[in-house]
Amino acid sequence: MIDFEVKGVIFDVDDTLLDNKPGVPGQGLHERSRLAAAHEVGRQRGIPELVSLTVQQNLDAFLDAPVHTLEAAVWNVMQMTGLADSEVMNPDNEIFKEIVSLKNSLHEAILRQYGEEIPGASSFVRALGRNGLHDKMAIASTAVRRDVDIFLEMTDLDEFFPDQRIKTKESITHPKPNPEVFNIAFSSLDLGEENRGMVCAFEDDPRGIMAAKAAGLYTCAISTRFSREELNGLEIAPDLVADSYQEFAQYFGLILQD
């Protein structure tokens, strides 16, 4: 059980609330749209290195990115295919810009067709709402706002996350593992600094966990993309790890309803 009064909750979205299908390479929603964009730009420009980009290379480009953004993953693709020779991202690179833009264009249809919640996610959010936290929940995501809005609309969770408590890529200048997005999400809850350690941040990714911990939040990790053992073994480890929202509900003393 959580041994303190929870004053607020902040959620990441991808692979925390939204099931991005991380278990099988090539099935992830962002992986699909990113790979499709790289292949299409490769075909249009006659770049065989992009056309032949593999599912595993595409996944590794995201997992190895120093920050948790589409741009960082695409720049890794550029490096591994020999289209970029520097680790320093060049946002003016035309091929880079084309892949990023096309990926964002393709992703909406993929999200609407294949997007589902992590099992029990919306039930858990609603249970928190019934237990006095309806107006003390926020989003801290490095996804684009459009995608977060689509997911909240699909799951009818938008009542818990009004506009002023949704912080996304457009809200920040420094992506995770920088704590900026969690800091501004915490500020949106209108809680005093003395309550920071009693606000629970839910994450799935080591970079997001680092960001939440750096923001001074009680950090809960769900093992959707990384195993329980991997998450507990991180140099900067979360405070609590669970394999499901049913397990989180037990820790929080909540009853989930369908």
pLDDT tens digits for range 92-148 = 999 999 999 999 999 999 999 999 999 999 999 999 999 999 999 999 999 999 999
Q: Is the pLDDT of residue 61 over 80?
A: yes
**Confidence band of 177 (pLDDT split at 50, 70, 90):** very high
Q: Which of 142, 144, 153, 151 has the alpha carbon at shortest distance from 179?
A: 142
Q: In sequence order, which residues have a C-beta less than 8 Å from that of residue 216 and are 6 or more positions away?
A: 196, 197
* DSSP track, 163-220: GGGEE-GGG-SS-TTSTHHHHHHHHHTT--GGGGGGEEEEE-SHHHHHHHHHTT-EEE
pTM over 0.85: yes
> What percent of the chain clears pLDDT 90, i.e. is strictly above it?
93
The domains of the chain are located at 8-17+118-252, 29-114
Q: Is the pLDDT of residue 67 over 90?
A: no
CA–CA gap between residue 11 and residue 44 (Å, rounded): 38
Q: Which two tokens stand for residue 104?
A: 């964002």
- CATH number for the region 8-17+118-252 comes to 3.40.50.1000
Please state the rounded mean pLDDT for residues 39-62: 96
What are 139's strand-pairing partners?
11, 166
- Cβ-based neighbours of 168, under 8 Å, separated by 6 or more: 139, 141, 142, 143, 144, 145, 148, 181
Nearest to 155 by CA among 252, 2, 1, 13: 13
